[in-house]
Amino acid sequence: MRVYLDYNATAPPAPEVVDAVTQVVRDHVGNPSSVHAFGQRAKALVDDARQEVAALIDADPTEVVFTAGGTEADNLALRGAAEALEAGPRRRLVTSGLEHEAVLNTVKALERRGWQVTRLSTSESGIVDPGALRQAIGSDTALVSIMHANNEVGTIQPVAELAAIAREHGAVFHTDAVQSVGKIPVSVRELGVDLLALSGHKFGGPLGAGALYIRRGVRLLPYLTGGRQERNRRAGTENVPAIAGLGVAAAVARKKLASEGPRLRQLRDRLESDILRLVPGTAVNGDRTARVPNTTNIGFDGIEAESLLIALDLEGIAVSTGSACSSGSLEPSHVLRAMGHSTARARNSLRFSLGAGTTDADLEAVIAVLPGLVTKLRGLHRTAAALR
Ligand code: PLP
């Protein structure tokens, strides 16, 4: 039996998405910028997808720009807004220490270009305190970037409150909502954000398709220059099959949000309580209430999470030690460190992320082997320590 519990890294595409992408690749040859009927049919596919993505996040379709995924959407948001804002006197960016590398490293690039950066850490809750933003923000702050749901621990940030603080101070607010869109209801209007990044492959869409919401009126310069696609905000011939697939994934997610959320929450809570009950020396990382319903991140005292990941993989069970982009680096999770956890805790924590295909049987398979594997690894760890 193979058990996939790494949906935050990527979620397998929904069957409707596979059908749509296949059909578009096979049957549609036009370039959406072409005037002829082939081109116009391709353009209609992109327009339909734009409507669906806009509906999923409560935006107007004209405010949605397609990108090649979440990383590009974050880059377009931060680099594009920063470049537009550089015409003014403000040159400070406030962000959090919990961000994904797509934001973290883009912010570092802006720092090299002369931006001042303030990074907010959190308590062990993994939730940014709006009071901390209020203290950090000033008349020199042009941009604030704080993610919606964290990819490693799943905590949901109080984005509406944070965005309101940014607005009061005249700063542009960006949120990386790659791990929340499609999992929980997301309304750009209720959140009051200026820029919001999402990625299709995190909620059953194809890889390589994402979008950036750009609130009407927010100034942003394109960082991919070329043709006039996407209203001059993202040049390059559109990836029509992937965009069409993203549109279908958005429609499917919107229809299933109300039922999938509670289903996954129940499964996740059961997995979590079984692990805490059956494996001593375990603890959940981050706030257990303000969390996306599919994610749990658990510390296992006295082991290296990487070893447990490999042991589970040998049993056919896929989990993760953190973000897929940084796994393999053997660096302790920067997210858990920003939450104030020790290096040891940051190295002994595993993420289990569930999704559309997850069943009771999957969780039973995990629970059947996990306690034994942890006991074995702890024994090996103790022996290795004694020999040192
Ligand atoms: N932001 C977050 C929070 C993520 O979890 C990820 C992917 O892991 C990304 C951005 C990058 O998205 P993509 O893989 O579509 O480039």
Q: Phi then psi for 93, rounded to 5 degrees?
A: -125, 135
Q: What is the pLDDT of residue 328?
A: 52
Alpha-carbon distance of 57 to 361, in angstroms, equals 33
51 and 43 in contact (C-beta within 8 Å)? no
Res. 325: pLDDT tops 60: no
Counting from 1 in the atom list of ligand 1, the atom nearest the Cα of 200 is 15
Res. 89: pLDDT tops 60: yes
Mean pLDDT of 256-272: 97
Confidence of residue 227 (pLDDT cuts 50, 70, 90): very high
Query: Atom 14 of ligand 1 has which residue's CA nearest to it?
Result: 70
User: How does pLDDT run across 190-210, given as a tens digit for each residue?
Assistant: 999 999 999 999 999 999 999
Q: What is the pLDDT of residue 286?
A: 97
Distance of CA 273 to the CA centre of its chain: 25
Q: What is the pLDDT of residue 331?
A: 80
Query: What phi-psi label fits residue 378: left (phi over 0), alpha (psi between -120 and 50 degrees) or beta?
Result: alpha
194 tagged catalytic: no
Q: What is the pLDDT of residue 380?
A: 86
Residues with CB under 6 A from ligand 1: 69-71, 74, 100, 102, 147, 151, 176, 178-179, 199, 201, 210, 323-324
Alpha-carbon distance of 175 to 154, in angstroms, equals 15
Q: What is the pLDDT of residue 329?
A: 55
Structure tokens at 208: 């390589």
Confidence of residue 142 (pLDDT cuts 50, 70, 90): very high
DSSP 8-class letter at 68: S
How far, in Å, is the centroid of ligand 1 from the Cα of 64? 18
Q: What is the pLDDT of residue 381?
A: 80
> What are the structural domains of the chain?
3-9+258-387 (3.90.1150.10), 15-252 (3.40.640.10)
- Rg of the chain over all Cα atoms, to the nearest angstrom: 21
Q: What is the pLDDT of residue 330?
A: 65
Mean pLDDT of 140-159: 98
- Per-chain mean pLDDT for the chain: 95
